[in-house]
Amino acid sequence: MLSFMRIKIYRGKFVAYAVFVVFIGLALGALTCAVLLDQWIGNSRNDAAGAFSRVENALQYDADRIEAFMQRVYSNNDLVSDIRSFLGNDAEGYLSSRLQGSQFNRSLVSFPDDIRSFLGNGGRGDVTQISLHTEQEGNVVSFDSNGNMSFLFRLPNTDDTFRETIHKGFVYHKKLSDPNQISRQLGELRFLVNSERIFKTAQNSRLDEAAAVSDSGDVFLIAGGDRSTEELVRRIAADGRAHGYLTTGFVNRAYFVTFTSNQFDYRFVSIVDLGSLIRQQADVLLVVFLIVLAAMICVLLLIVYNLREDANFLRRIIVSIGRAKTADFTPISPARYRRNEYGMIARELDDMIHQLDRHIRTNYLLKLKQQETEMKALQAQINPHFLYNTLEVIRSSALFNSVDYTSDAIATLGALYRDIVKNDNIISLDSELALLQKYLKIMEFKYPGRFYYQLNVETALLSLPTVKFWMQPLAENFFVHGFDPESEFNLLIVNGWEEANRFVLEIVDNGNRIPEERLTEIRRQLSRGDDASVNSIGLRNVYTRLHFFYGAGFAMMIDNNEEAGVKISVILSKEAIGDVQAVDRG
């Protein structure tokens, strides 16, 4: 199977092909894994967004219920009276005040019972504590998990019972006004919505680690995690980004996404450990690896098959030439015909040996010597033809293995260097544009689908004389400083037109702008001939050569575009063009 490895030329080919196939396979595998990882992270981000939305909906539901309760309070005078009795009294004072204001023919309205039934589903809802405050103190009604009520009276407003933390819950503040005199405020109602019950709605989501963090740094763990998770959540909160990656160990990284609440001062943080995610999806990654491995093996087997066939024909050719050299015309099995140059040559050599054998049998030894001389001449003719065929096979094999981009790029690069070497130092602007276009086509091969260019130069400018190879450094500046490999639309445009007394050429791109301070410095250096700036060597070289060639009739301007990118304008006076045409300045 690998008999061709004994032939040096095919041994080198196989090694090169194998390295190329392995590199492409690994690159495609890595790209596939990266796409899958991005998709999995996107799914985790969507799960986190759904969980946060459920939390916000739960908070909004409780807010709507509280608003409805406040409307209920203002529409029920008996309930307002009971709240007044509850406000600012102790337990005994509350009961006494209720009895004094009661009527025997009407049932007593209870503020705590009304809250229990309306807001808490019998005390088992999200609202677990309601407090009624004056300016200095407050009375508290609390509900446990079984719906049982407990009371605390005359607590100072500074008591820990009223301290608002994300671990206890979210507090809705509602001013309580006198229904008969709206401007008169009776007190304040505070409704505590239990955090554990609210965030329980998010625990059904597929979240690896999730937490809520307040502006003060308090962390409530919603799903997974431990003390280290709390520290990581605080880091994320301090980071300030809505999503991104953080290093969690020597080689470990985690992806996070945060959502800011519109109702309360907290942020919902979801964390995905990339190492854990990869371990969870190990089966999928193994399938990708096996598919890539199988594809590489198939391609290598195809390469081996083709190289083996070509090697067999090459051996047949070498054997035939050796037989002809030694006058060994013993009949052998005919060469298997293959539709390429090797097969044709092998078959022709066999036919040639057969014809030689026939002539030798019918002619004298002198004719044999003469035939040997002619064979040497034929061999001398075969050598260059064989070399051409070998190169053609290499090119055909490259095309067969889907590397036509590489073939075209090599051809373009060869044409570019050929033009650079053979042309004079002074060429027409049309030739200079052709050199630029070859360079831009190579960059198109390098960035397929991400770079585009346009050449819009009027015909009147194409015959203008100019120095060779000055546009390429200006275009190269775009790829070095302005090009964005992540963008799907990087554009370079060359415009040229004729005006009354001058010709104008513009090279415009949509890349990064030059900072104003840096732009001012570049203009200053060009104007005074400063060679100190290393970053502007290419630009300085172009400016110096054009200025030397065209003299005072030349000007170059560098500006930022309004939206994006840089514009370099080259202005040539018609008088300067006339001087150049009249005097050889090359």
* pLDDT tens-digit map of 171-202: 999 998 888 777 788 899 999 998 888 888 88
Q: Would residue 320 count as lying in a domain?
A: yes
Same domain assignment for residues 364 and 477? no
Same domain assignment for residues 417 and 537? yes
Q: Please, which pLDDT band fits residue 502 given cuts at 50, 70 and 90?
A: very high
Residue type, 203: Q
Same domain assignment for residues 447 and 548? yes
pLDDT at 391 over 50: no
Residue whose tokens read 């049982």: 148
Distance linking the first and last C-alpha atoms of the chain = 61
Same domain assignment for residues 15 and 118? no
Q: Would residue 362 count as lying in a domain?
A: yes
Q: Would residue 240 count as lying in a domain?
A: no
Which range (160-164, 207-211, 352-356, 413-417) has the least confidence? Answer: 413-417
What is the edge-to-edge ordering of all strands in the sheet holding 137-143? 149-156, 137-143, 127-133, 181-194, 169-178
Residue whose tokens read 């009294």: 89
Same domain assignment for residues 414 and 551? yes
For strands 253-260 and 266-273, give the pairing: antiparallel
What dihedral do alpha carbons 470, 474, 477, 483 form, nearest 10°?
Answer: -130
Q: Please, which pLDDT band fits residue 276 given cuts at 50, 70 and 90?
A: confident
Interacting residues of 569 by C-beta distance below 8 A, sequence separation 6+: 504, 505, 506, 556, 557, 558, 559
Q: Would residue 275 count as lying in a domain?
A: no
| Cβ neighbour number for residue 218 with a 10 Å cutoff | 16
Q: Nearest 5°: phi and psi at 122? A: 75, 25
Residue 204 in contact with residue 226, Cβ under 8 Å? Answer: no
Nearest-angstrom CA–CA distance, 508 and 566: 6
pLDDT for residue 501: 92
pLDDT at 238 over 60: yes
Write down which residue in 360, 385, 400 finishes a domain: 400
Same domain assignment for residues 481 and 465? yes
Strands of 441-489 (E only): list them. 451-457, 465-467
Same domain assignment for residues 423 and 355? no
- The single-letter DSSP state of residue 274 is H
**With 0-12 CB in 10 A as exposed, 13-18 as middle and 19+ as buried, what is 465?**
middle
Q: Would residue 256 count as lying in a domain?
A: no
pLDDT at 258 over 70: yes
**With 0-12 CB in 10 A as exposed, 13-18 as middle and 19+ as buried, what is 174?**
middle
Q: Cα dist. 525→529, 532, 545, 565 in Å? A: 6, 8, 15, 21
Q: Would residue 38 count as lying in a domain?
A: no
Q: Nearest 5°: phi and psi at 44? A: -65, -40
Write down which residue in 352, 369, 400 finishes a domain: 400
More confident residue, 279 or 580: 279
pLDDT at 378 over 80: no
pLDDT for residue 259: 93
Nearest-angstrom CA–CA distance, 119 and 147: 12
Which range (76-90, 219-233, 262-276, 527-541) has the least confidence? Answer: 527-541
Write down which residue in 373, 400, 427 finishes a domain: 400
Nearest-angstrom CA–CA distance, 101 and 94: 11
Q: Would residue 220 count as lying in a domain?
A: no
Residue type, 558: I
Same domain assignment for residues 483 and 566? yes
pLDDT digits (tens, 9 = 90+) for 523-571: 888 877 655 444 556 687 788 878 878 888 899 999 999 888 999 999 9
pLDDT at 47 over 70: yes
pLDDT digits (tens, 9 = 90+) for 301-324: 888 888 777 777 777 777 777 777
pLDDT for residue 305: 81
Q: How many CA atoms lie within 13 A of 12 on its CB side?
A: 3
pLDDT for residue 394: 39
Same domain assignment for residues 356 and 418? no
pLDDT for residue 87: 85
Which range (83-92, 128-137, 278-287) has the least confidence? Answer: 83-92
Same domain assignment for residues 356 and 430? no
Q: What rounded mean pLDDT belongs to the chain?
A: 80
Which range (163-167, 294-298, 524-528) has the least confidence? Answer: 524-528
Q: Would residue 267 count as lying in a domain?
A: no
pLDDT for residue 333: 66
Residue type, 282: A
- Mean pLDDT of the 110-121 span: 80
Same domain assignment for residues 461 and 430? yes
Residue type, 81: S
| Angle at 282 (CA atoms; ends 281, 283), nearest 5 degrees | 90
pLDDT at 275 over 90: no
For strands 554-560 and 502-509, give the pairing: unpaired
pLDDT at 425 over 60: yes
Domain count, the chain: 3
pLDDT digits (tens, 9 = 90+) for 438-470: 888 878 877 888 899 999 999 999 999 988 878
Same domain assignment for residues 486 and 456? yes
**With 0-12 CB in 10 A as exposed, 13-18 as middle and 19+ as buried, what is 527?**
exposed
Which two three-digit tokens encode residue 183? Answer: 């401007």
pLDDT at 247 over 80: yes
pLDDT at 334 over 90: no
Which two three-digit tokens encode residue 418? Answer: 């050929």
Residue 207 in contact with residue 237, Cβ under 8 Å? Answer: no
Which two three-digit tokens encode residue 310? Answer: 């070509």
State which residues form the domain around 292. 3-27+283-400
